């Protein structure tokens, strides 16, 4: 949302290891050693299971029922909305959309951001253009831009994914570029150049592997931003009308004017957003700890 | 000084120009013919002709682009489909509210964020610091409408301390009007500040800890200055400037947050306008609102940079 969790300076300061500083097994141990890492991973796994098995957990919400605006009870865990639809079912089905868009948009942003960041780090000429474009994108208010585009194309899960992904890459590019610059200056890159390796080969075979750990961190942090963006667009009425999403539940509460009465209709989707984004962010930070051996204290 | 200002102004103009150009071509690359987007069935033939003439939609793309830029320079943002009045008039009506909301939130985040960041840095590793770390990370996960709705329901509807919508009570005059304005502003501003504050103060604290490790702080310590004095007089002075820049970089996010907050509180700014225009698919308004907000953010960012240069003794202007 706001200030970057992994700053450019931090990324550059971390000497990228050409070989992982710690073995895979002990890396996982580092990840899980702190309870926050374990908890974050558990929340993410539960969310994925909810999304995958949504049809088995709850019927797809739709239609109307006489049970309007019921507060949470045994029959309706999260209560019902003004149409009598079950909020629990809406939240469960909303998990699908949020996760799908979060992950897919994050992948688009990562591919674009990594390509642009690495090319900028190694090729001087690309850097001149790449840096200007990245700076411009970072300077502009992204949400109004995404709103404008989403309003013009008919919003669906896929168009939203593309729009969010296409505007989330600059942060990734900046992070990858700053670490790519450090790697580019390393002696083994000169070595590869002396041996006659092409620029393409150096970027893809020598520099890319060195920034992979940072990419893993970026995927998680970018996905959490994408989830927030999707919720924002859906809340403004730009979500996929055929798919449930947490932002849409909040929009329904806002539109039907029941916010002050039906607290459950805003509380549960809000908690879902908070939990998912928090878990992804914490997981990203724990991965970042593994990446930087100085921080994990052995 | 003149050269620095000129450079910064050029950069700002370039950014806005790229934004406008990219928007123009993007909108024409997207599926859907711009004529069907811009001209709706329920307009009179005269309006339709006027619109087509304003946009020159029958001419080649490049020519359209040049005339679009020329119109923008003259302050012509096109005509709203729904309200049948110039987009620029609608936007200028709404912009002051957004500037007020985002401006107050901006200043308040800095004013509250700096002491919190300094306090946490001074108590590094102890509970105030740990609390801030938690709050800072949680801030990334806070969804603006969630926070806004929580405040609206709890402090607005349940306790009745603050109005739940609008920007001012139209029946008030003079001092009462200003009080009403401030009263209506509390919850929307609080929603924005709550979301921005944690990550901001946390980054500030981290910067400050870096500063406290520098040579001149060690020199101050060697001269026998107390910890508190080192922190507030030497450390803070050097951390405030990056704090300003950092907030400048958050302007885009702040404006995005304002769009969502205004929607929740029916605050009559550009954000609420965007929400209404989305419902009516009023594309000229959406495009104009984006350009207007982009200009606002870029100008504010440039001003922040200039203030930085003025305040920083290391930059001689």
Mark yes or no for CB contact B146/A153 under 8 Å.
Answer: no
A145 to chain B: nearest residue by CA? B290
Percentage above 70 pLDDT, chain A: 86
- Chain A residues in contact with B274 by the CB 8 A cut-off are 144, 147, 236
DSSP three-state, residue A86: strand
Q: For residue A95, what pLDDT is reported?
A: 93
Determine the distance in angstroms separating the CA of A120 from the nearest CA of chain B, rounded to an integer: 19
> Pick from A2, A152, A263: which is nearest to B27 by CB?
A152
Q: Closest approach of chain B CAs to the CA of A218, in angstroms? A: 14
Q: Inform me whether the C-beta atom of residue B291 falls under 8 Å from chain A C-beta atoms.
A: no
Report the pLDDT averaged over residues B256-275. 92
B160 to chain A: closest CA residue: A260
Nearest CA in chain B to A263: B153
Confidence of residue B313 (pLDDT cuts 50, 70, 90): low
Q: Which of B137, B259, B263 is closest, CB to CB, to A144?
A: B259
- A83's CB contacts (< 8 A; 6+ apart) are A63, A64, A65, A68
Q: What is the pLDDT of residues A248-268, one digit of tens each?
A: 999 988 888 777 777 888 889
Say if residues A34 and A288 touch (Cβ distance below 8 Å).
no
- CA B116 – CA B107 distance, rounded (Å): 14
The CA distance from A3 to the nearest CA of chain B, in Å, is 6
For the residues of chain B, what is the DSSP string, one character each? -HHHHHHHHHHHHHHHHHHHHHHHHHHHHSSS-HHHHHS-TTS-HHHHHHHHHHHTTTS-HHHHHHHHHHHHHTT---B-TTT-SBHHHHHHHHHHHHHHHHHHHHHHHHHHHHHHHHHHHHTTTSHHHHHHHHHHHHHHH--HHHHHHHHIIIIIIIS--S-SS-S--TT--HHHHHHHHHHHHHHHHHHHHHHHHHHHHHHHHHHHHHHHTSHHHHHHHHTT--HHHIIIIIIHHHHHHHHHHHHHHTHHHHHHHHHHHHHHHT--SHHHHHHHHHHHT-HHHHHHHHHHHHHHHHHHHHHHHHHHHHH-TTS--
B290 and A145 within 8 Å at the Cβ level: the answer is: yes
Looking up tokens 């055929």, which residue turns up? Answer: A242
Q: Does B303 touch chain A (CB under 8 A)?
A: no
Assess whether pLDDT exceeds 50 at residue A1: no
The alpha-carbon gap from A190 to the nearest alpha carbon of chain B, in Å, equals 32
What residues of chain B lie within 8 A of the CB of A153, using their CB? 30-32
Query: Which residues between 99 and 118 in chain B have a beta carbon less than 8 angstroms from any beta carbon of chain A?
Result: none
Backbone φ and ψ of A6, nearest 5°: -110, 110
- Kindly provide the residue ranges of all beta strands, DSSP E only, lying in A146-265, ordered along the sequence: none
Look at B317 and B106; give whichever has higher pLDDT. Answer: B106
Across the interface, whether the CB atoms of A231 and B143 are under 8 A apart is answered yes
Residues 6+ apart with CB under 8 A from A284: A5, A6, A217, A218, A220, A221, A224
Cβ atoms of residues B307 and B247 within 8 Å: no
Q: Each residue of A31-79: pLDDT tens digit?
A: 677 777 888 889 999 999 988 887 887 777 877 777 777 778 777 777 7
The reported pLDDT for the residue numbered A2 is: 45
Q: What is the mean pLDDT of residues A128-153?
A: 87
Q: What is the pLDDT of residue A102?
A: 92
pLDDT value at position A20?
47
Residue A214: left if φ>0, alpha if ψ -120 to 50, beta else—which one? alpha
Burial of B248 (0-12, 13-18, 19+ CB in 10 A): buried
The token duo for B162 is 């603050």
Q: Residues 121 to 150 of B: which have CB under 8 A from any A CB?
A: 137-146, 149-150
Kindly state the percentage of chain B with pLDDT values over 90.
Answer: 24
Nearest neighbour of A281 by CB, restricted to B26, B137, B157: B137
Spatial contact of A113 and A170, defined as CB atoms under 8 Å apart: yes
Put simply, the chain B residues between 170 and 229 with a CB less than 8 A from any chain A CB are 195-196, 199-200, 202-203
Pick among B12, B23, B141, B253 to test the A interface (most A CBs inside 10 A): B141
Residue where the block lists tokens 């959309």 = A97
Of B27, B253, B286, the CB nearest to A1: B253
Instruction: For residue A5, list chain B residues with Cβ-Cβ distance below 8 A.
Output: 137, 140
Which H or E element spans position A151?
A: helix A142-152
* Per-residue model confidence (pLDDT) at position B51: 65
Tell me: pLDDT of B36 over 70. no
Q: Which residues of A touch B255 (CB under 8 A)?
A: 141, 143-144
Interface touch B249/A138, C-beta < 8 Å:
yes
**pLDDT, greater one: B50 or A280:** A280
**Residue in A235, A237, A282 nearest the CB of B137:** A282
Chain A residue numbers with beta carbons less than 8 Å from the beta carbon of B276 are: none
Q: Select the more confidently predicted residue: B234 or B87.
A: B87
Instruction: Calculate mean pLDDT across residues A278-294.
Output: 79
Residues of B in contact with A266 (CB under 8 A): 146, 149-150, 153
Q: What is the pLDDT of residues A85-110, one digit of tens each?
A: 888 888 999 999 999 999 999 999 99
Residue A170 has pLDDT above 70, yes or no: yes
Report the alpha-carbon angle B44-B48-B50, nearest 5. Answer: 115
Minimum-distance CB partner of B153 among A236, A250, A259 = A259
Distance of CA A158 to the CA centre of its chain: 16
Contact A124, A209 (CB under 8 A): no
- A149, A237, A263 member nearest B26 (Cβ): A149
Confidence of residue A24 (pLDDT cuts 50, 70, 90): low
Chain B CB contacts of A138 under 8 Å are: 249, 252
Burial (CB count <10 Å: 0-12, 13-18, 19+), residue A257 = exposed
A184, A119 Cβ separation under 8 angstroms? no
Contact call for residues B27 and B35 (beta carbons, < 8 A): no
The pLDDT of residue A128 is above 90: no
Q: Alpha-carbon Rg of chain B, whole angstroms?
A: 23
CB-CB under 8 Å, A141 with B143: no
pTM equals: 0.86
Highest mean pLDDT (candidates A81-90, A213-222, B234-243) = A213-222
* Residue B36 φ/ψ, nearest 5 degrees: -70, -30
For residue B38, the distance in angstroms to the closest alpha carbon of chain A comes to: 11
CA distance B223 to chain A (A): 31
- Length of chain B equals 317
Judged by a CB distance cut-off of 8 A, whether residue B32 touches chain A is yes
Pick from A2, A149, A247: CB nearest B196: A2
Distance from CA of B146 to the nearest CA of A (A): 6
Neighbours of B127 (CB within 10 A): 9
Q: Which residue of B has its CA nearest to A278?
A: B141
Could you identify the residue written with the tokens 């509250």? B112
């Amino acid at each position: 949302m706001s200030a970057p969790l992994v700053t450019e300076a931090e990324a550059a300061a971390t000497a990228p290891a050409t070989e992982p500083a710690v073995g895979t097994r002990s890396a996982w141990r580092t990840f899980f050693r702190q309870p926050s890492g374990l908890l974050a991973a558990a929340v993410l796994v539960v969310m994925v299971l909810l999304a995958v098995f949504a049809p088995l957990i709850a019927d797809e919400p739709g239609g109307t029922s006489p049970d309007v605006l019921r507060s949470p009870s045994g029959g309706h865990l999260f209560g019902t909305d003004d149409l009598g639809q079950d909020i629990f079912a809406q939240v469960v089905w909303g998990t699908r959309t949020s996760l799908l868009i979060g992950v897919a948009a994050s992948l688009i942003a990562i591919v674009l951001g990594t390509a642009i960041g690495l090319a900028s780090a190694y090729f001087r000429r690309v850097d001149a253009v790449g840096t200007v474009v990245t700076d411009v994108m970072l300077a502009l208010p992204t949400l109004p831009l995404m709103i404008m585009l989403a309003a013009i194309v008919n919003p669906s899960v896929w168009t939203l994914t593309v729009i969010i992904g296409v505007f989330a890459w600059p942060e990734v590019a900046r992070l990858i570029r700053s670490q790519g610059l450090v790697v580019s200056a390393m002696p083994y890159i000169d070595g590869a150049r002396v041996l006659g390796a092409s620029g393409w080969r150096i970027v893809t075979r020598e520099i890319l592997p060195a920034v992979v750990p940072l990419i893993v961190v970026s995927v998680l942090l970018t996905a959490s931003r994408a989830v927030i963006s999707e919720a924002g667009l859906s809340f403004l009425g730009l979500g996929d009308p055929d798919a449930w999403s947490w932002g849409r539940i909040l929009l329904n509460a806002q539109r039907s004017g029941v916010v002050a009465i039906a607290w459950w209709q805003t509380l549960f989707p809000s908690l879902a957003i908070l939990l998912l984004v928090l878990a992804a962010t914490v997981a990203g930070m724990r991965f970042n700890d593994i990446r930087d051996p100085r921080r994990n204290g052995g | 000084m003149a050269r620095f200002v000129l450079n910064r102004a050029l950069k700002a103009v370039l950014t806005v120009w790229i934004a406008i150009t990219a928007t123009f071509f993007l909108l024409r690359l997207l599926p859907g013919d711009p004529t069907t987007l811009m001209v709706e069935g329920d307009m009179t033939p005269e309006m339709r002709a006027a619109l087509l003439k304003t946009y020159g939609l029958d001419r080649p793309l490049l020519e359209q682009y040049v005339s679009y830029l020329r119109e923008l320079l003259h302050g012509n943002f096109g005509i709203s489909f729904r309200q049948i009045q110039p987009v620029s008039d609608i936007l200028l009506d709404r912009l002051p509210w957004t500037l007020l909301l985002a401006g107050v939130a901006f200043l308040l985040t800095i004013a509250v964020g700096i002491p919190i960041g300094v306090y946490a840095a001074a108590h590094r590793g102890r509970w105030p610091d740990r609390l801030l770390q938690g709050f800072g990370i949680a801030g990334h996960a806070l969804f603006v409408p969630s926070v806004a709705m929580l405040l609206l329901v709890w402090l607005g509807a349940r306790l009745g301390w603050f109005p739940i919508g609008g920007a001012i009570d139209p029946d008030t005059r003079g001092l009462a009007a200003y009080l009403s304005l401030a009263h209506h502003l509390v919850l929307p501003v609080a929603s924005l500040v709550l979301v921005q504050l944690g990550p901001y103060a946390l980054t500030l604290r981290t910067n400050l800890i870096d500063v406290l490790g520098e040579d001149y702080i060690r020199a101050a310590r060697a001269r026998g200055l107390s910890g508190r004095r080192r922190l507030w007089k030497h450390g803070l002075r050097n951390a405030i400037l990056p704090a300003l820049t950092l907030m400048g970089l958050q302007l885009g996010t702040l404006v995005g947050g304002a769009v969502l907050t205004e929607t929740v509180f029916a605050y009559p700014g550009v954000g609420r306008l965007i929400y209404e225009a989305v419902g009516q698919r009023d594309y000229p308004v959406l495009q104009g609102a984006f350009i207007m907000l982009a200009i606002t953010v870029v100008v504010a960012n440039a001003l922040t940079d200039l203030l930085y240069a003025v305040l920083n003794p290391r930059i001689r202007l």
